[in-house]
Amino acid sequence: MEDPDSSKQLPLLAHSARIVALPRPVARVAAVVPESAAPVTTLKASPSLWYALVFPQLAEQTPSRQQQILEQLAGLAQAVSATISFHPHALVCEVRSSLNYFGGIEVIHDRIKSTLSEQLIACGLSGDFLYSASPTVSGSLLLARSGQNCLVYRHENLRSALGQLPTSVLELNKEQNRRLYNMGIRYLRDIWRLPGDGLRKRFGSDFVNLLHKALGSAPEPTRNYLPPPAFLTSYDLPYEVELVERILPVADEMLAQLCDFLRRRDLSASHLVFSLSHEKRSSTKIAIGLRQPSRSREHLSMLLETHIANLSVPAPIVAVSLEVKKFDAFMSHSDHLLLDNGAVKPGYTDRHLDTFIEQLQARLGGNPVKSIATVAEHCPEYACEQRDYNESGTRGGIRRTADNPVASNPRPLWLLSEPVQLVVRNGKLYHRKPITLVNGPERIETRWWSDGDIRRDYYVAREDNGSRLWIFREKTGAQHWYLHGFFA
């Protein structure tokens, strides 16, 4: 069998002007440029060129992190290629179609090298990576993995270029490696001397398939990178608008476009930002967050109106733009089949309430709605907790704490956030009117382990004007009386 190696490749190395060596110091230039043939014919011969980027440093990361980093890198690699596929610790981009545009693989490499390195360093990894280009996906990966950062333009040269690689690049298991070693096979070119049937019997069809793929004689299905959806639209107003309400028709049109976009992609949006641009000023942003992702135009425009209702702009508006910050999969709402059945408890879904709370947030800002829960605590101030209704899992959390034991003695519905000191005049307690003690004392001694040591005697009392009070007397210090709550 004739060795395809070197016979054609080596002489070509002499044409140094023709060698496209990728600029990397450790690179061993192993492959080679087309001969004087015109690039057009080369294109015909091999319709695609795959540029493989291997990131060996990813091996230490968890699979989900690997995928996350690869997604980010693929986003950057989109600058040079439209077809990017994922492989273990590697990305492969199709660059033949953009070769002419960029003016060569070197330019392409220069273009993405620094951005990829920066991204890798930002992820806390080393910025180096291995790369190669060849007419097949697996071939490029094998070449890149071997650390020979080389370029093979032509399909005919692929076999020889791959032949020089050690068998370790195939990433076989231990047993297969041992067998290959025992057979005296160190390089891929040794494998190519062996008969295909025998190889299939000894190493399985996966092994043979891999070699076929690398040589371009078997199809190579790939999982391609799909860029995440993005929606950004803007509209320059024909004249300056001073009243914010005037942008509503424009915004409504944008929302209609957005809803159309979402419906086509089976998505819904959960965070949008409207920007109102001004002349010579930074733009006003209106962020709309949704409690439940939506793609209903009425819902979104209702929220926008609420936001706009108490918004003032520093300058006239010249342009409006809408951007979606967060997409979610569309989840449709299903009704009960037996809704009319009288036995079914009226299904109060939280949807209306969610809409209401969204509106409230839009109007009041922040998290205006709180839910309350009891806490197993002796100290009255700490026995009640206010939480943001928004917090995910809030309701589950409360469900758990709902069983918290509460004090058996009466507790007031109103609690003062800060106890109010009462005055004693002529041996009588006064708040606004004289106070008579009704019931007590209930001693609460707690928190001695912290700075706020609490020793109090609580009484139920009644003011002369009819208010029912919850008052206490400090057992420490000056023994002042305080008002702490109302039995409303």
Partner 1 sequence: MNMHRTPSQGLKPTADKAYSDAARIGNDTGADVAPTDNVTAEPIDRLLYRNPNLWRGCDLAGQGNHGRSTGFPQLDAILPGQGWPSKGLMEIITPHWGMGELQLLVPLMRSVVEQGQWILWISPPYLLYAPALVQAGINTEQVLVVKLDTSCKDALWSMEKALQTENCGLVLAWQNWLPSKVLRRLQLAADTGNTLGVLFKHHDSEHSPSPIRLKIKDSPVSQGFNEADITVIKARGNFRPLTTRLKLYQHARQPA
Binding mask 47-76 vs partner 1 (x if CB under 8 A, - otherwise)? Answer: ------------------------------
220, 398, 446, 457: residue in contact with partner 1 (rule CB under 8 A)? 398
Is 352 a binding residue for partner 1 by CB under 8 A? The answer is yes
Is 409 a binding residue for partner 1 by CB under 8 A? The answer is yes
C-beta separation of 201 from 175 below 8 A: no
Is the bond leading into 166 cis (omega within 30 degrees of zero)?
no
Nearer to partner 1, 38 or 402 (CB): 402
Is 379 a binding residue for partner 1 by CB under 8 A? The answer is no
Binding mask 73-112 vs partner 1 (x if CB under 8 A, - otherwise)? Answer: ----------------------------------------
64, 182, 312, 386: residue in contact with partner 1 (rule CB under 8 A)? 386
Is 135 a binding residue for partner 1 by CB under 8 A? The answer is no
- Tokens 């928190």 correspond to 447
Nearer to partner 1, 56 or 440 (CB): 440
316, 369, 430, 457: residue in contact with partner 1 (rule CB under 8 A)? 369
Nearer to partner 1, 266 or 418 (CB): 418
Please enumerate in sequence order all residues whose Cβ is within 8 A of that of 421, keeping only pairs 6 or more positions apart, or say none: 480, 481, 482, 483
* Residues 363, 75: Cα–Cα separation, whole Å: 37
75, 293, 412, 441: residue in contact with partner 1 (rule CB under 8 A)? 412
Nearer to partner 1, 277 or 371 (CB): 371
Q: What is the DSSP letter of 160?
A: H
* Residues 297, 331: Cα–Cα separation, whole Å: 16
374, 390, 455, 482: residue in contact with partner 1 (rule CB under 8 A)? 374
Number of residues that bind partner 1 (CB under 8 A): 59
Which among 187-195, 219-227, 243-251, 406-414 is the span making contact with partner 1, rule CB under 8 A? 406-414
Binding mask 310-349 vs partner 1 (x if CB under 8 A, - otherwise)? Answer: -----------------------------------xx-xx
CB of 478 to partner 1, least distance (A): 25
* Residues 256, 27: Cα–Cα separation, whole Å: 54
Nearer to partner 1, 321 or 371 (CB): 371
* Residues 270, 390: Cα–Cα separation, whole Å: 14
Site for partner 1 in 430-469 (CB under 8 A): 432, 436, 438-439, 460, 462-469
Is 488 a binding residue for partner 1 by CB under 8 A? The answer is yes
Which among 22-30, 179-187, 229-237, 385-393 is the span making contact with partner 1, rule CB under 8 A? 385-393
* Residues 193, 187: Cα–Cα separation, whole Å: 11
Q: Which of 75, 209, 49, 255 is nearest to 143 (CA)?
A: 49
Residue 64 burial by Cβ neighbours in a 10 Å radius (0-12, 13-18, 19+): exposed
Nearer to partner 1, 86 or 470 (CB): 470
Is 406 a binding residue for partner 1 by CB under 8 A? The answer is yes
* Residues 273, 287: Cα–Cα separation, whole Å: 4
Nearer to partner 1, 252 or 442 (CB): 442
Q: Which helix (H) or strand (E) covers residue 282, if one does?
A: strand 281-294
* Residues 72, 56: Cα–Cα separation, whole Å: 16
Nearer to partner 1, 55 or 459 (CB): 459
Q: Which of 53, 45, 17 is nearest to 32 (CA)?
A: 17
CB of 480 to partner 1, least distance (A): 20
| Cα–Cα distances in angstroms (integers) from residue 259 to residues 15, 231, 264, 416, in the given order | 59, 11, 9, 48
CB of 144 to partner 1, least distance (A): 57
Determine if residue 8 is left, alpha or beta; phi over 0 gives left, psi from -120 to 50 gives alpha, anything else beta: alpha
Nearer to partner 1, 104 or 365 (CB): 365
C-beta separation of 237 from 250 below 8 A: yes
For the chain, the straight-line distance linking the first and the last C-alpha, in angstroms and rounded, comes to 100
Is 219 a binding residue for partner 1 by CB under 8 A? The answer is no
CB of 376 to partner 1, least distance (A): 10
* Residues 205, 201: Cα–Cα separation, whole Å: 8
Supply the DSSP string of 206-237, one letter for each residue. Answer: HHHHHHHHHHTSS----EE--PPP--EEEEEE
* Residues 424, 435: Cα–Cα separation, whole Å: 10
156, 305, 385, 474: residue in contact with partner 1 (rule CB under 8 A)? 385
Binding residues for partner 1, rule: CB under 8 A, are 345-346, 348-350, 352-353, 355-356, 359-360, 363-364, 368-374, 380, 383-386, 389, 395, 398-399, 402, 406-417, 432, 436, 438-439, 460, 462-469, 485-488
